[in-house]
Amino acid sequence: MRNMYLGELLDACTKSSSIVIKLHEIQNEKFRNFCDSKWLYPIGVFRFLSLYLKNKVFSSKNIGYKLAIVSIVKNEGKYLEEWIEYYNSIGVDHIYIYDNESIDNTEEICNKYSDKVSYFKINGKVRQCDAYNDALNRYGNSCEYMAMIDSDEFIFAPPTNENILGKITSHFQSNKKVGGLAINWEMFGSSGYTKKPDGRVTDNFIYRATDNFEKNKHIKTICNPRKVAGFVNPHYAVYMPGYYAVDAEDNVSKGAFTEVVHNKELRINHYFTKSKEEFLAKRARGMADNLDIRKISDFDEHDRNEVFDDSLKKYNNNF
């Protein structure tokens, strides 16, 4: 088990290095495989030592943001404004958006919120973890916590979002060994829509899966950037020695899934499918973390509408 962790740690340190992130811009499968192989582990050793020493001299005076969000997007312009406004409303201080070759109005929308949003372009396929790692490298010391999430994911504290930031930060403050908070999905379905409806996503899609739906065991991560070695999977971080992630009930969490869904205090409303029309558009965009194309059957697998849940719609009406 220890050897597995050391291998994962070295892999994360290597892939999160600015050198390897830059090399990933070269879109050649064989070269990518070389960059992600053990041949470059000496870079990881150097980066680990660099992170260790940098954390020794870190001063909290450098922190400008309590909570920031990092996200990679592609042609999400029609949804982005709602998503940014939502996170502004709950008190997120800043959002780092990495635009993966969008051809819509994504850049224009980000520029509209330039006081709250930092916008970057990132080209090529399979760049999601590169985006997360670049944000850690460049802005980790400016943020107390960073949430690595997608633009169809809304962190929510049921039933009303009361004190959501306090609920997030309490998990870190109660145990100094906690490097990350693993929050489970709450999967929302199509609510019966075949075509894209007008209005907000969070107003329109108000039916979801039951809490124990298998896909809800997936987690996304809010982390303390100084306790993270890097991301090699978009769902979870690899932590520096001595640190770990916990779930919403403070159990140690490892990997991309929890054994049990914990969504009473915090959850991520995940609007994965939206309408059938929107899912097909999502499928055509491709995936940010691998070269696969989503199967048509993914719609049916994720289109779960057993539970009426308009909690975010009610939140919108109040704010």
Task: State yes or no: pLDDT of 169 exceeds 90.
Answer: yes
Distance CA 128, CA 296 (A): 22
Q: How far is CA 107 from the centre of its chain?
A: 20
Average pLDDT, the chain: 94
Q: What percent of the chain has pLDDT over 90?
A: 89
How far apart are the C-alpha atoms of 288 and 266, rounded to whole Å? 25
- C-alpha 192/C-alpha 189 separation (Å) is 8
- The pLDDT score that the predictor gives to residue 295 is 87
For the chain, the farthest-separated pair of C-alpha atoms sits apart, in whole angstroms, at 55
Report the pLDDT averaged over residues 106-119: 98
Q: How confident is the model at residue 267 (pLDDT cuts 50, 70, 90)?
A: very high
Can you give the pLDDT at residue 258?
97
Q: What is the pTM of this model?
A: 0.95
The share of the chain scoring above pLDDT 70, in percent, equals 97
Burial status of residue 56 (CB atoms within 10 A of its CB: 0-12, 13-18, 19 or more): exposed
Residue 41 has pLDDT above 90, yes or no: yes
State the average pLDDT over residues 154-163. Answer: 96
What secondary structure letter does DSSP report for 240? Answer: P
In this predicted structure, the answer to whether residue 136 has a pLDDT above a threshold of 80 is yes
Using the predicted structure, report yes or no on whether residue 201 has a pLDDT greater than 90.
yes
Token pair of 258 as six digits: 């929890």
H or E stretch including 277? helix 276-285
Please give the Cα distance from 238 to 12 (Å, whole number).
6
Token pair 């996304």 is found at: 220
For residue 289, is pLDDT > 60? no
Spatial distance between the Cα atoms of 69 and 80, rounded to a whole number of angstroms:
13
pLDDT band, very low/low/confident/very high, at 74 (cuts 50, 70, 90): very high
The tokens of 14 are what? 């290597």
Rounded average pLDDT over 211-225: 98
Q: Which of 234, 237, 265 shows the shortest CA–CA distance to 253? A: 237
How far is C-alpha 49 from the geometric centre of its chain's CA atoms? 26
- Neighbour tally for 241: CB within 10 Å: 11
Reported as a single tens digit per residue, the pLDDT across 228-259 is: 999 999 999 999 999 999 999 999 999 999 99
Indicate the pLDDT class of residue 40, thresholds 50, 70 and 90: very high
Question: Is residue 43 exposed (0-12), middle (13-18) or buried (19+ Cβ within 10 Å)?
Answer: buried
State the pLDDT at residue 292: 66
- Residue 187's contacts (CB-CB under 8 Å, 6 or more residues apart) are 208, 209, 213, 215, 216, 270, 272, 302, 304
- Mean pLDDT, to the nearest integer, of 61-77? 95
Q: Tell me how far apart the alpha carbons of residues 279 and 307 are, in angstroms, rounded to a whole number.
A: 20
